[in-house]
Amino acid sequence: MKSRWLLFILVIFFQQGFAQIQLEEQLAFVESLFAQEKYFDAITEAKRLSFFDSSNQYSYKVNSLIAESYKSGNKLSEAVNYFTKAERESRNPEELFSTKIKIIKINILRRAFYLADHQLVELERDTRFIADSSSLRYWRGWNYLFHDDWQQAADEFSGIDSAAALKNICEEVQKRKYSVSFAKGISAVLPGAGQIYTGNYLSGILSLGWNILFGYLTVQAFSAERVFDGMAVGTMLWLRFYDGNLSNAEKFAVEKNEIINNETLNFLQKNYQGLKP
Amino acid sequence: MMQKTIFFVLLSIFPSLLFSQASGLFAPEKRKAFADYLFCEKDYLRASEEYEALNNLNKNDSLSYSIGLCFLKMNEYGKAEDVFYQLRNSTLGEESRLLYLKTSFLLNNNIEEKTDSFSNQFGNKDLETSFRRLDLAAQIKAGMSQASLHSLDTNFEGTDVQLLRSFAENFSHPNRKSPFAAALFSAVLPGAGKIYTKNYGDGITSLIVTSLFSFLWYDNFRAGHPTRAWIFAGLTGFFYWGNVYGSYISARNYNLEKAEELNNEFDSFLNSKNYFVPKKIEGSCK
């Protein structure tokens, strides 16, 4: 009777063992697909593993892998969803911190500045992560960088030794950027000057020409005591070109700054060797 | 005794091994459960791949039907239409025929001819009702005749009937504006064409601006200021022809907007009612 019980227990034990082996093999399969950059298949197989993992023992790992795969495929919202699931399944403060940082990195990438900032503040307030303050500062710097606040980013990177190169790049960008208010201001004084300041010489000269022509016609009409003509030319032509000159000065400065931002972000994405979102 | 024990141990392990092989994560019944889970999670692309893999192993109408549903949910109407057409005479023939017609309706693909060829092919009362409603919806979109309007009363219920009658009226007599009439009105009186297309703000602005520049053109010539007169003449011409062309475009945009509005309203009404979706689709996920 005893030996039959023993056999029964053995059978159960082997079945459990084989099920466990299958799940481990599946996890290895998912990891190999991920390593080969086959993200679509990695997600499918990870979801399969998650479906059959009734005890949720691989939950953290699987959800993290699905999230990383979605992120690599530029599906950032789905990636955040799965990192949030992984966060709920994290088993210790290290896993929790690492997952929260991954979520923050995605929010930085999708330029959700205030959300990422709020999440960084929450982590700073959490007493379990006091030792990680320099890491939080580093990611806050990146958040400012993606928010087009290069000076603030340089300030955040300034206290971190490993981020000295990033600090220099941010300061360099800050110097290269055009001042939008200066461009508008000089165009208000001399039409076309703002466009010339941002390197759009033809537009600047044309703007100056139109303003001189219609300004002259307006003044001439008023001098000839044709007030109605003067008002019509002044409001419908001169003012329109003057206003357009201000708008253009602002638009060109903003566009040039965007080009500088994007060039720098592309450069960092391709060449920066340190941690990045 | 020893031999007997070893025999029993092997006998116990062997089925266990066999069981483990048959119950691997890729065993058909587990794969089907996983595909159903993906479908309910709205991951239709992966669900369709799983159903297809199973269908390749063992061709089955139910799996093909599920693949068609995945395509339908992914708005891949062309592929869904093909799948449901293939299944029109299968064990799931009635549901497939209805979904085939629904996808054709969504694709605007010869739906009237198809509904004619599928009439009297539904034994199930609910599906027959859905079919008749789909047929009527297609007729409404194509511009239903007055004679057919009474069929709405017998096939739809409550306030829907009134609403569908108004849709039928709008589709058969769309509220259109003639672009040529709009251009002509604006050529006679600047801005009139835009007012005709209910673009009141632009119409009044066109009238004021063109009149003002015309007056300044005339007045400057009369007062002997030819330079300014020519500038105002140029501006008058520019605004006048701009107003004529703008009225033509305004009427075209008005017609497009109204048609799109009507189509969107009708589609949202049909979607909100879910008239043509067999219960099997919506009821399979908890």
Tens-place pLDDT, residues A187-225:
999 999 999 999 999 999 999 999 999 999 899 889 988
- Cβ proximity of B96 and B71 under 8 Å: no
pLDDT along chain B (286 residues), means of 10: 59 51 77 94 95 92 94 93 92 88 84 78 80 86 79 83 89 91 96 95 94 91 88 92 96 95 90 70 61
In angstroms, the separation between the Cα of residue B286 and the nearest Cα of chain A is 16
**Mutation to test the B interface, candidates A45, A51, A66, A213, most B Cβ within 10 Å:** A51
In the prediction, which pLDDT does A250 show? Answer: 96
Condensed to tens digits (0 to 9), the pLDDT of residues A75-115 reads: 999 999 999 999 999 999 999 999 999 999 999 999 999 99
CB-CB neighbors (< 8 A) of B18 in chain A: none
Q: Which chain A residues contact residue B9 at CB under 8 A? A: 7, 10
Q: Do B9 and A7 touch (CB under 8 A)?
A: yes
Output the pLDDT for position B157: 82
Query: Measured between beta carbons, which residues in chain A are less than 8 angstroms from residue B216?
Result: 228-229, 232
Fold observed for domain A27-89: 1.25.40
Q: Which of B9, B37, B228 sits opposite A217 (nearest CB)?
A: B228
**From the candidates B9, B12, B34, B206, which should be mutated to test the interface with A, based on the most A CB atoms within 10 A?**
B12
Percentage above 90 pLDDT, chain B: 45
Residue A76 to residues A107, A111, B76, B118: CA-CA distances in angstroms? Answer: 8, 11, 24, 45
Q: What is the pTM of this model?
A: 0.76
Contact residues for B96 (Cβ-Cβ < 8 A; gap 6+): B65, B68, B84, B85, B87, B88, B90
Measured distance CA(B208)–CA(A75) in Å, rounded? 52
Q: Contact, A123 vs A115, CB < 8 A? A: no
Please give, rounded to a whole number of angstroms, the shortest distance from the CA of B21 to a CA of chain A: 9
Where do the structural domains in chain A lie, given as residue ranges? 27-89, 113-176, 180-266
Reported residue count of chain A is 277
Whether A53 has its CB under 8 Å from any CB of chain B: the answer is no
The yes-or-no verdict on residue A46 having pLDDT over 60 is: yes
Residues of A in contact with B13 (CB under 8 A): 10-11, 14
Give B268→chain A minimum CA distance, Å: 27
Whole-number average pLDDT of chain A: 91
Nearest residue of A to residue B225 by CA position?
A221
Instruction: State mean pLDDT over A47-61.
Output: 92
The predicted pLDDT at position B281 comes to 56
Q: Mean pLDDT throughout A18-40?
A: 90
Q: Residue A253 has what pLDDT?
A: 96
* Closest to A161 (Cα-Cα) out of A140, A137, A145: A137
CA distance A27 to chain B (A): 12
For the segment A167-181, what is each residue's pLDDT rounded down to a tens digit?
999 999 999 999 999
Flag if A221 and B13 touch (Cβ within 8 Å): no
Give Rg (Cα) of chain A.
30
Beta-carbon contacts of A231 under 8 Å, excluding residues fewer than 6 positions away, are none
Partner residue opposite B37 with nearest CB, options A15, A51, A224: A51
Residues of chain A with pLDDT > 90: what percent?
75
Q: What is the pLDDT of residue B21?
A: 45
CB contact under 8 A, B43 and A47: yes
Q: Cα distance from B161 to chain A (closest Cα, Å)?
A: 42
Q: Any chain B CB within 8 A of the CB of A9?
A: no
Q: How many CB pairs under 8 A join A and B?
A: 67
- pLDDT value at residue B189: 96
**pLDDT value, residue B20:** 47
At residue A3, does pLDDT exceed 80?
no
pLDDT one-digit tens code per residue, B21-45? 445 888 999 999 999 999 999 999 9
Looking at chain A, list the stretches that DSSP marks H as alpha helix, in order from N- to C-terminal side: 2-35, 39-52, 59-72, 76-89, 93-109, 113-125, 133-146, 150-158, 164-176, 180-189, 193-197, 201-223, 227-233, 239-271
- Please report the pLDDT score of residue B132 as a whole number: 85
Would you say A253 and A178 are in contact if contact means Cβ atoms under 8 Å apart? yes
Whether residue B20 and residue A18 make contact (CB cut-off 8 A), yes or no, is: yes
pLDDT of residue A193: 96
pLDDT, position A228: 87
Task: Give Cβ neighbours of residue B257 (< 8 Å, ≥ 6 apart).
Answer: none
Query: Which uninterrupted H or E stretch holds B26?
Result: none
Q: Is A160 on the interface with B (CB under 8 A)?
A: no
Separation CA B144–CA B147 (nearest Å): 8
Residue of B72, B74, B132 lying closest to B104 (CA atoms): B72
